[in-house]
Amino acid sequence: MNSERKIDALEKQWIYAILPENKPGYKSIRDKIKNAFVLRRQPLSDDPVQDSYKLILAPESCTVNNTADTYATTPISTGKIKYENMEVYLAVSSFEDDVFEIEISKDQSNDSPGKLLNVETFAKWEPGMKAPFDNSEVREIEAVKNKYTLAIAPALKRIWLYEYATGINYLIPLSNFFNELTRSKNIQSPEIVGNPNYLFTNLNKFEDADFIRGLYFYNKYIRRLDIDLELKEKPKRKSLFSLFSLLKTKKR
């Protein structure tokens, strides 16, 4: 369904709730969405109880390719907004600088949400904090010093990348990341490769360097994250045989 219109006040309120204004990256997105138009509204389910739909937001008169879904980036924010009479779930992704995809799912049995009770979102997370939603433990890996921190919450079963300059938390799809992680570690066991949740139940079997390498290859081949990440190979240690051979060569 195509319907070029301004975002209605309630939709904008929901979107802003999971884009914290105190973080420059999210504030920039808020500013772009402020005057954006709804170019397309697409239902996501026929559930009579839950109203789920997707909005494509862009500047007025902007044209969006109908296959644009293929190029959507990793979600830059997800969240749950709890009201007295309703719960709203949202996910915000971007195609390019000024075009955004908003997925919204809400209870359609109440026209009036009532009083706002709580907002939970990954967007508020910063290094040193517990996981959003369940306040569980988070393993933090310094992917690039003072630039990027990879966060893994085993109880929540989520992975995300925190960017220091913008404050944005990029949510990383588990299956794609786990594929690159196991490939880079040369793990070939079908029982492991076919079970992405193995990562969360065996987190201590992976070193920080494994995750950095996995992230590098994930970003190299999937190209979902616009980040500056370099893989620094460890120098190979020479074997004793190689060292003795080198000494003999020098003596000659």
> What are the pLDDT tens digits along the chain (252 aa)?
455 678 888 899 999 999 999 999 999 999 999 889 998 888 887 776 678 899 999 887 676 665 445 455 668 999 999 998 889 999 999 877 788 999 999 876 666 788 899 999 999 999 999 999 999 999 999 998 899 999 999 999 999 999 999 999 999 999 999 999 999 999 999 999 999 999 999 999 999 999 999 999 988 876 666 666 666 554 444 444 444 454 554 454
pLDDT digits (tens, 9 = 90+) for 67-94: 445 455 668 999 999 998 889 999 999 8
Q: In this structure, is residue 231 part of a structural domain?
A: no
Host domain of residue 52: 5-60+69-122
What's residue 149's pLDDT? Answer: 96
- In this structure, what token pair is assigned to residue 154? 């085993």
Same domain for 83 and 148, yes or no, is no
Q: In this structure, is residue 233 part of a structural domain?
A: no
Same domain for 18 and 76, yes or no, is yes
Same domain for 117 and 151, yes or no, is no
Domain count, the chain: 2
Q: In this structure, is residue 230 part of a structural domain?
A: no
Same domain for 14 and 113, yes or no, is yes
